[in-house]
Amino acid sequence: MSRASGGSDGALGVFYTAHHSWLEQWLRRKLGNAWDAADLSQDTFIRVMSSAQPIGEVAEPRAYLRTIGNRLLINLYRRRSLEQAYLETLAAMPEDVAPSTEQRWLILEALQALDEMLNGLSAVVRRAFLMSQLEGLTYPEIAMRLGVSERTVKRHMALAYEHCLLSEWR
């Protein structure tokens, strides 16, 4: 029995039955297609099941579901945007140096994992981290590019490393 069920397995079933079709319709209006709406609806209820919030304590079920659904929707759009940027980059590459199909999907998966890991960092901290890790820039070079002191870059990097380490524990 999950913690979200509020002490009875039936509470989650009642909650699902009462709100599933509403949530899926709401997501369908947002997304414009039934397949993604159905997937996100199920993902939303999976989040509800794994939540520490007991179902019986949810005062506004639709607002609660809309909040979770909106977060999943934002993640979906971010993943698609990242995938589109990656595919555009691949299309611009000469065919003889482009990665294989398998390599493309592994790279895309890694990019999505990195994007998720860095989610929550401010834009400047994320930029500093990516300049260091992907471009191999030194702290003085990053400071020059960002127009900040080297000490600020060190603080940004410490925040980014801490965030990455803590994301491993979530």
**What pLDDT, on a 0 to 100 scale, did the predictor assign at position 7?**
47
Q: What is the mean pLDDT of the chain?
A: 87
**What pLDDT, on a 0 to 100 scale, did the predictor assign at position 91?**
83
Tell if the pTM clears 0.75, that is, is over it: no
Q: Is the pLDDT confidence value at 17 over 90?
A: yes
Across the range 2-8, mean pLDDT stands at: 47
Between 25 and 51, the more confident residue is 25
Q: In whole angstroms, give the CA distance from residue 63 to residue 55.
A: 13
**What pLDDT, on a 0 to 100 scale, did the predictor assign at position 135?**
85
If pLDDT is split at 50, 70 and 90, which confidence band does 10 have? confident
**pLDDT tens, position by position, 40-58:** 999 999 999 888 888 888 8
Between CA 42 and CA 78, with CA 64 as vertex, the angle to 5 degrees is 60
Between CA 131 and CA 137, with CA 135 as vertex, the angle to 5 degrees is 65
If pLDDT is split at 50, 70 and 90, which confidence band does 5 have? very low
Residues in the chain, how many?
170
**pLDDT tens, position by position, 57-97:** 889 999 999 999 999 998 899 888 888 888 888 888 888 88
Between 153 and 104, the more confident residue is 153
Domains of the chain: 3-95 (1.10.1740)
Q: Which residues lie below 8 Å from residue 69, measured CB to CB, with a gap of 6+?
A: 23, 26, 27, 40, 41, 44
**What pLDDT, on a 0 to 100 scale, did the predictor assign at position 61?**
93
**What pLDDT, on a 0 to 100 scale, did the predictor assign at position 168?**
64
